Amino acid sequence: MIQVKNLHKGFNEQEVLKGINYTFERGKTNLIIGQSGSGKSVFLKCMLGLFKPDEGTIEYDQKPYSTFSDEEQRELRTEMGMLFQGGALFDSMNVEENVMFPLKMFTKQRKSDMLKRVHEVLERVNLEGTGNKMPSEISGGMQKRVAIARAIVNKPKYLFCDEPNSGLDPQTATVIDNLIMDLTHENDITTVLITHDMNSVLEIGERIAFLKDGVLAWKGTKDEIFKTDDQAVTEFVYSSNLFQKVRVAQQKGI
Ligand SMILES: Nc1ncnc2c1ncn2[C@@H]1O[C@H](COP(=O)(O)OP(=O)(O)OP(=O)(O)O)[C@@H](O)[C@H]1O
């Protein structure tokens, strides 16, 4: 669980996050949605410890970041898995080496134990047998699954995903979404996921935070987002064709 209390963050004269209070639940896919420039990435980077809040606190499993010692901060970093846009695999490393990278960076395990874990996660994301392939030799969807395997290989407590679906066809995007949700449930991870994709909201929006101009303008679930009359959130989500179709179908009782 990550609890955010009165989070403010700005740059120069611009206040980007304007006092956000929100709890990202453990064992759930917690989505952040909102227009471009609403502050989603800045929010994520604050939780990753890449930006220092100007005001407010972020608590990781009820422990405020400001109380972490240097050693505890380092340990926290090892408990975070990250999945960025495009997957960001290392082109010069094969699949196995890519997935092993966090174990080499953050643990002192024996090579044989690392390899065992790498093969375990590759099997979990249905990529057994691809360890020796280079990223350029596999499809975009497979690359994304390698990136997921790398993000979870060190058994993170927190998983941060920034638009994990970008560049994928709708079918593959759904597979990736559901893989992230299943892994979240199986491993009781606090997953925070930024998305622009309304399909993802429908598929895996167990918890949704809607940001507007740096303010938490609405929060709820994928079921609630269809029922809300909140103008800001309806304007945003119904600009998507998919959502319009779903609402019309609901009104017709289909
Ligand atoms: N390092 C930085 N220095 C100065 N301003 C920044 C920095 N990072 C973000 N900003 C500003 O903060 C605001 C919010 O940016 P942010 O990237 O969080 O938006 P976003 O909601 O993630 O947008 P998008 O959906 O397009 O990725 C923008 O006005 C941006 O220019």
Return d(Cα 76, Cα 239) in angstroms, integer.
38
Cα–Cα nearest to 201, from 39, 82, 32, 83: 32
| pTM of the shown model | 0.92
Cα–Cα nearest to 4, from 48, 36, 35: 48
Which class in CATH covers the domain with range 2-79+158-251? alpha beta
- Nearest atom (ligand 1) to Cα of 214: 14
Return d(Cα 119, Cα 113) in angstroms, integer.
10
Which pLDDT band, with edges at 50, 70 and 90, does 240 fall under? low
Nearest residue by C-alpha to atom 4 in ligand 1: 11
Mean pLDDT within 109-113: 94
Nearest residue by C-alpha to atom 9 in ligand 1: 42
Q: To test the ligand 1 pocket, which listed residue (12, 15, 18, 42) has its Cβ within 8 A of the most ligand atoms?
A: 42
Instruction: Give the residue extent of every domain in the chain.
Output: 2-79+158-251, 87-155
pLDDT score for 227: 83
Cα–Cα nearest to 158, from 53, 48, 65, 73: 48
Judge whether residue 247 has pLDDT over 80.
no
Q: Is 34 in the pocket of ligand 1 (CB under 6 A)?
A: yes
Q: Is 90 in the pocket of ligand 1 (CB under 6 A)?
A: no
Q: Give percent above pLDDT 70 in the chain.
A: 94
Judge whether residue 245 has pLDDT over 90.
no
Mean pLDDT within 3-22: 97
For the segment 169-180, what is each residue's pLDDT rounded down to a tens digit?
888 889 999 999
Q: Is 170 in the pocket of ligand 1 (CB under 6 A)?
A: no
Amino acid making up residue 50:
L
Judge whether residue 8 has pLDDT over 70.
yes
Q: Is 16 in the pocket of ligand 1 (CB under 6 A)?
A: yes
Mean pLDDT within 131-153: 94
Nearest residue by C-alpha to atom 8 in ligand 1: 42
Which pLDDT band, with edges at 50, 70 and 90, does 7 fall under? very high
pLDDT score for 86: 67
Q: How far is CA 124 from CA 135, 146, 150, 191, 227, in A?
A: 18, 11, 12, 18, 36
pLDDT score for 249: 72
State the Cα angle at 49 between 153 and 164, rounded to 5°: 50
Judge whether residue 39 has pLDDT over 80.
yes
- Nearest atom (ligand 1) to Cα of 51: 1
Average pLDDT, the chain: 92
For the segment 214-226, what is each residue's pLDDT rounded down to a tens digit?
999 999 999 998 7
For the segment 183-213, what is each residue's pLDDT rounded down to a tens digit?
999 999 999 999 988 889 989 999 999 999 9
- For this complex, say whether ipTM is above 0.90: yes
Phi, psi dihedrals of residue 29, rounded to the nearest 5°:
-90, 110
pLDDT score for 242: 66
